[in-house]
Structure 1
Amino acid sequence: MDLLEISKKNSKKPKPLYIKILSLFSVVRGYNILLIVIAQYLAAVFIFSPEQTLKQVLFDPNLYFIVLATICVIASGYIINNFYDAETDSINKPIKSKIDNIVDQKTKLKIYFLLNFIGVLIAFLVSWRAALFFAIYIFLIWLYSHKLKRYPLAGLLSAAVLAILPFFAIFVYYKNFSEIIFTHAAFLFFILLIRELVKDLVNLKGNFAQNYQTIAVKYGEHFTKILISVLVVLTLNPIYFLMQYPEIGDMKYYFYTVFVVLLIFLGLLWFYKNKRNYGMLHILLKLLIVAGVFSLALIDYSIIINRILLK
């Protein structure tokens, strides 16, 4: 038996359970989901519920169920996106694609339907409106994965909107319609649009091979860079207005940093010309988003002290 036959034989051996769990964790991007959960709770504490004590927010069963439903629906969303993008990912992300494919597609689909069912069921514990919201969210994720992401403008806008919707669920629950919340949302929306366009540059080869009509594929790298530059300039507007709110506290230092980083990002964008470099810019934007999540705690730490003292 030669080495090729031995390799094929070994590849057919069933994988240990922990390997399959790690593969599934990669498919659902557990690290992203954890970040979203942290962001939801921080936003609930520091932005959406200024009148409630810390104990009321953290031990609110309805908030817990909304977050739990979000986990299920987003995880299922990553699964269906992985299902439709299997061929594209094999070109754009060959190593990750091999890890993801340890769990077969049939099993992924079963988990997808199960997570969606559980997510809507949990949302029913809050209200029928919450269940309807998550049912619509599930449909929109499927529509994006199956159709919308193949079209330039629809794919770009829907990706950013879907990323914001988990926070919209918290926003609707607390019914807090303050200006600062909408300004924060505008800032995040622009950053997400920029990230999606940079991701299109990173995945240009695979998207082109699968005929995904992203902006980078249809209009080219130069036009995509122009559009990113315009969005960077537009992002400076919500940053300026956020800086006018005294409520943001020490989060102003985060926005100072974002301002400087975006200027550096813009210079590097026009200097860089290959996938590896674009990947570095994509990581930079991810770090900005992660830093933004944790900087929510800097909005006004006197709030947290007062809430701990309140009964």
Structure 2
Amino acid sequence: MNSEKETFQQKKYIQKSLFYRFSQFVGFLLGARFFIAALLTFALYVSTFFLFNQDENFRKFVFDFKVHGIIFCTVLTILAGGIINQFYDFEKDHMVKPFRTRIQSFIKQKYFLYAYLFLSILSLGVAWLISHRVFLFFVIYQFFMWFYSHKLSRVLILNNLTFVSLTLYPFFGMMVYYGTFSKKVLLMAVFLFLILLCIDIVKDTLTKRVDKVFDYVTIPNYFTTRNTKIIIISLLIITMAVSMKLITRTGISGFMAYYFTGGIFIMILCVYLILNYSRKSKFLTLNVLRFWVFVGIIAMLLNGIENKL
């Protein structure tokens, strides 16, 4: 009888232990923004091969270890950036994202800091092996990742501009690496910058009260509701104008032409939703824009495959 009871307790202990370890693992993935890093890695590979890399064939690209090394450093830096950002935003996230914060609580904050230091040092170490210029590129990237989380995330307008710029920084690096400078690439970068900026501002409208409590000076809690709507709608209209410019002036074709044409209607839909300005419409706008960014990556992939065949 006692042996059966002990066996049952041991099984229960093992189950609790496994659940605890699994929760720690999931908590780390969420804390490091792993899924965002995975999406950005996919986007970076697609844009590098099909947009920036105009000359190399697929075989050369696969064996271009320098490019893979740069992308690997980028992934590590993004993961490290996600960790340091959640470290500084922990109290705010506790109110805005209680479920995620609860899962992250299975890991002590000091272990997140250890992971941040490990990922940052590993990234810089690999960058140093590639070249001194690549090392400097990632030193700047990591510094602004930390500085954004520490200071700039609380500064009006700079918080949005810095966040979007840091998101696009690796793509800019690849553009410089391949020397791919053209009107089409520039307009596509502006289009993506504007969409990401709209996403970030709309996201701030959903956390307006919490941001105010923790002294995050954002556009929604600094300006009136009317002015915030005007800013978002203005950005959406400018994005529509950039889409039209890409379609009519750059000779863009294939799936990307369909994407930017569809983008005009998506922006009109978002303008309509922002005019409504209920919490539900803002949440819908946020997810529509996020989905459209993902559609853009798929469109670029399909367009690139079509052109390479």
Tell whether the structures are fold-level matches, with TM greater than 0.5.
yes
Equivalent residues in 2 for 1:34-183, closer than 5 Å? 34-183=38-187
Select 2:210's aligned residue among 206, 212, 229.
Answer: 206
Equivalent residues in 2 for 1:15-34, closer than 5 Å? 16-34=20-38
Answer whether contact 1:76 1:116 (CA < 8 A) is retained: yes
Select 2:272's aligned residue among 267, 273, 279.
Answer: 267
Equivalent residue number for residue 215 of structure 1? 219
Higher mean C-alpha deviation, range 213-222 or range 192-201: 213-222
Give how far 1:300 is off. 4.7
**4+ residue segments displaced more than 6 Å:** none
Q: Note closer, same or farther for the CA distance 1:303–1:54 as it changes in structure 2 (3 Å cut).
A: farther
Give how far 1:247 is off. 4.2
The CA RMSD measured in Å over matched residues stands at 1.7
**Residues in 1 aligned to 2:25 and 2:190: alpha-carbon distance in whole angstroms:** 36
**Residues in 2 aligned to 1:237 and 1:24: alpha-carbon distance in whole angstroms:** 41
Give how far 1:78 is off. 0.6
**Residues in 2 aligned to 1:152 and 1:209: alpha-carbon distance in whole angstroms:** 15
User: Which whole-Å deviations, capped at 9, do the CAs of 1:24-45 have from their partners, x for residues lacking one?
Assistant: 1111222211111111111111
Aligned length: 293
**Residues in 2 aligned to 1:108 and 1:201: alpha-carbon distance in whole angstroms:** 28
**Residues in 2 aligned to 1:37 and 1:247: alpha-carbon distance in whole angstroms:** 24
**Residues in 2 aligned to 1:41 and 1:300: alpha-carbon distance in whole angstroms:** 12
User: Which whole-Å deviations, capped at 9, do the CAs of 1:177-197 have from their partners, x for residues lacking one?
Assistant: 122111111001101110110
**Residues in 2 aligned to 1:109 and 1:277: alpha-carbon distance in whole angstroms:** 37
Give how far 1:110 is off. 0.5
Answer whether contact 1:123 1:130 (CA < 8 A) is retained: yes
**Residues in 2 aligned to 1:68 and 1:102: alpha-carbon distance in whole angstroms:** 28
Gaps of 5+ in 1: 1-9, 306-311
**Residues in 2 aligned to 1:155 and 1:302: alpha-carbon distance in whole angstroms:** 38
**Residues in 2 aligned to 1:76 and 1:258: alpha-carbon distance in whole angstroms:** 33
**Residues in 2 aligned to 1:204 and 1:166: alpha-carbon distance in whole angstroms:** 29
The DSSP-based 3-state class of the residue aligned with 1:246 is coil
Equivalent residue number for residue 3 of structure 1? none
Gaps of 5+ in 2: 1-12
User: What residue identity is the alignment partner of 1:256?
Assistant: T
Equivalent residue number for residue 285 of structure 1? 289
User: Which whole-Å deviations, capped at 9, do the CAs of 1:123-182 have from their partners, x for residues lacking one?
Assistant: 122211111111111110111111111111111111111110011121121111122111
Higher relative contact order, chain-length normalized (CA < 8 Å, sep 6+): 1
**Residues in 2 aligned to 1:58 and 1:248: alpha-carbon distance in whole angstroms:** 26
**Residues in 2 aligned to 1:86 and 1:16: alpha-carbon distance in whole angstroms:** 21
Q: Note closer, same or farther for the CA distance 1:270–1:218 as it changes in structure 2 (3 Å cut).
A: same
**Residues in 2 aligned to 1:27 and 1:300: alpha-carbon distance in whole angstroms:** 33
**Residues in 2 aligned to 1:193 and 1:266: alpha-carbon distance in whole angstroms:** 15
Select 1:249's aligned residue among 251, 254, 258.
Answer: 254
Answer whether contact 1:65 1:125 (CA < 8 A) is retained: no
Give how far 1:100 is off. 2.2
Q: Note closer, same or farther for the CA distance 1:241–1:212 as it changes in structure 2 (3 Å cut).
A: same
**Residues in 1 aligned to 2:300 and 2:105: alpha-carbon distance in whole angstroms:** 36
